[in-house]
Chain A
Amino acid sequence: MKNLKIAIASGKGGTGKTTIAVNLYHTLVKQNKQNILLVDCDVEEPNDALFFSDAEVIGETSITHLVPEINIEKCTFCRKCVEYCEYNAITVIPPVKYAEVATDLCHSCGACLYACDFDAITEKPFEIGKMIRYQTQNGAGLTEGRLNVGLAFQTPVIRHVKKVTKNHDGIIIYDAPPGTSCSVVSTIADVDFVILGTEPTPFGLHDLKLAVEVVRNLEKSFGIVINKAHLGDDKIYKYLEEKEIPLLVEIPFQREIAEKYAESQILSNVVDGYEDYYLQMIDNMFKLLN
């Protein structure tokens, strides 16, 4: 079988992305599919590792991007770099010979380097997050991106983690962040299949529609998983039918599932019949992929 990239996304938060990602990983590994790798791209709130209590950390690296530093000795305070910076990250006040970069606003685009005619700007690495690799009992393990608290650079952290893992030989499962913004697009832009998790409530349906707009814009093959089925109303089913969107599987709301999830347990290990939902999900996904 050829290599495959799958992303789990949702629009609305709390609809089961992480649950789907970790249980899908577990089920695929158990099925003996080749070399499965799980990548946690929900870098603001990475939770996948909580579900592998026996996983061993086998590597932790700092994720940095380059931020400019202005050498006051060489700077002529011409303000050309200020003009070049689209993110208002540079402040230069000529009368008092002040030139400073706000590292929390800098996107690391490098435009100021081109702007400076006096060689006064150099770059230094600035840590924006971490990449942590975990070895799991079976499978190729988990790679997690973790944004440093207080920074707004979720997308560069995701980009880094994806760049490092993209040549993995086998199947990659990406757990995406909630929402529909740039960080979600970065996660799903290059995948072969997107699984959208949702719940049958007005909020779930509303945000699912936004997520569908994103995956359709990106021309991705995708399918839906309805979690907490029977908890809300049936409008979501009508929507899927009308728009001809494939439903991969629906998983009913059960207190037992909620409880075991709360404990960060792999559900297919502890809830009777739960694995069947995943076998059905995988089966339907491969049908759509072929």
Chain B
Amino acid sequence: MIREITVLSGKGGTGKTTITAALASLAKNTVFTDCDVDAADLHLLLQPDIYERHAFESGTKAIIDTVSCNGCGICEVACRFDAISKLKGDTYHVNAFKCEGCRLCERICPVDAITSVPSMNNFWYVSNTRFGKLVHAHMGPGEENSGKLVSVVRKKAKEIAQQENSDIIINDGPPGIGCPVIASLTGVGRVIMVIEPTKSGLHDASRLVELTKKFGIKTFAIINKSDLHSGISDLIETELFKLNIDLLGKIPFDDDFIKAMISGKTIVEYAPDSRSAILLNQFWKRIMMD
């Protein structure tokens, strides 16, 4: 049975990726993914050697052929995404950033002037790293369907884990609680939530807990940079207790994390005897005993 764990936070910049990378140094026989497909950073620390590249079709975008368009405007009225507007002259055009690829305009155009073309601006990769296999992605700017791309990445990781008899999959998750976050937590066994001791961090973590509870996923918490505000850190600890969330522990602010990042290493590699590395080692043991 493969154990799948996703690292999330609600709020961005709390340390999801640095902590995922540290766990990569500690986990044995594990496959990793970067599910933060629109601002992926894990590869900067894991330095993958890519051996498979795939294009991901994120849906379609409509295109209007201005030669055959008769300017009737039926498409503009029907489009609920305000993606179609009149150009100078009498023809219409599609704003690709607004188009959600529903193809309604294509179906109702009386002169067949509209076609849908697949958007091929997204890629996903399978790589070797010094810690094991990594499945990661690059999403083109402004692309839709990041949730679907996350699902593709996770599916591939599962396949690899089965082929290689891996014990664990660790997913580095995106910030927020929306579409890609939902895609990165459905069906996983555990969530590790990285919280920073700020009111925003607490607010965002509360919304994330609401989400993981909805999905019935057991959630662990780590308070990162805990000494930046010990009062709020204590407040978060109390809230976690109330919510019945298991707090693995607190990691004080440590600029070794940044130095490690600059040298392209995990904290466990860069400063194995540091307090942060020792704490993370303890946390990982706790998760594995669970």
Contact = CB atoms under 8 A, between A and B. Distances in A.
Contact of B11 (A45, A115, A149): A45
B14 A147 contact: no
B204 A262 contact: no
B179 interface: yes
Given A114-B78, A264-B200, A15 B13 contact: yes
Which of the four size classes fits the interface of chain A? 35 or more
Given A110-B80, A181-B142, A13 B107 contact: no
A143 interface: no
B80 A231 contact: no
Contacts of B229: 258-259, 262-263
A62 B266 CA distance: 45
Interface stretch (A203-211, A244-252, A281-289): A203-211
A94 interface: no
B238 to A, nearest CB: 16
B178 interface: yes
A47 B177 CA distance: 14
Contacts of A23: none
Interface stretch (A71-79, A131-139, A182-190, A269-277): A182-190
A31 interface: no
B258 interface: yes
Given A14-B11, A182-B143, A259 B228 contact: yes
- The main secondary structure of chain B at its interface with chain A is loop
Given A149-B210, A152-B147, A264-B199, A45 B108 contact: no
Given A149-B210, A154-B178, A86 B39 contact: no
Contact of B139 (A86, A110, A180, A203): A180
Contacts of A13: 11-14, 39, 175
Contact of A178 (B146, B175, B196): B175
Nearest to A258: B228
B207 interface: yes
Contacts of A109: 80-81, 100, 102, 104
A183 B151 CA distance: 19
A150 B258 CA distance: 33
B80 A181 contact: no
B142 A152 contact: no
Interface in B132-148: 139, 141-144, 146-147
Contact of A84 (B11, B107, B143, B146): B107
A223 interface: no
A233 interface: yes
A199 to B, nearest CB: 8
B261 A210 contact: no
B103 A44 contact: no
Contacts of A180: 38-39, 139, 141-142
B278 interface: no
B54 interface: no
B78 A110 contact: yes
Given A47-B204, A203-B261, A181 B146 contact: yes
A207 B97 contact: no
A217 interface: yes
Contact of A179 (B17, B174, B177): B174
B177 A44 contact: yes
Contacts of A184: 142
Contacts of B48: none
A101 interface: no
A150 B44 contact: no
A147 B12 contact: no
Contact of B258 (A110, A149, A232): A232
A30 interface: no
A11 interface: yes
Contact of A231 (B144, B203, B255): B255
Interface string A96-120: 0000000000011111001100000
Contacts of B101: 86
Contacts of A232: 258, 261-262
Interface in A1-28: 10-15, 18
B12 A181 contact: no
Given A150-B211, A180-B39, 7 more contacts: A44-B207, A45-B10, A114-B104, A180-B38, A180-B142, A231-B258, A233-B262
21 contacts: A10-B12, A45-B175, A45-B200, A45-B207, A47-B200, A50-B199, A84-B103, A108-B80, A114-B104, A114-B107, A149-B210, A149-B211, A149-B214, A154-B176, A154-B179, A185-B142, A189-B97, A189-B98, A202-B264, A262-B196, A263-B198
The 3 closest A-B CB pairs, nearest first, are: A14-B13, A13-B12, A109-B102
Interface of A: 10-15, 18, 43-45, 47, 50, 84, 86-87, 107-111, 114-115, 147, 149-154, 177-186, 189, 201-203, 206-207, 210, 213-214, 217-218, 231-233, 255, 258-259, 261-264
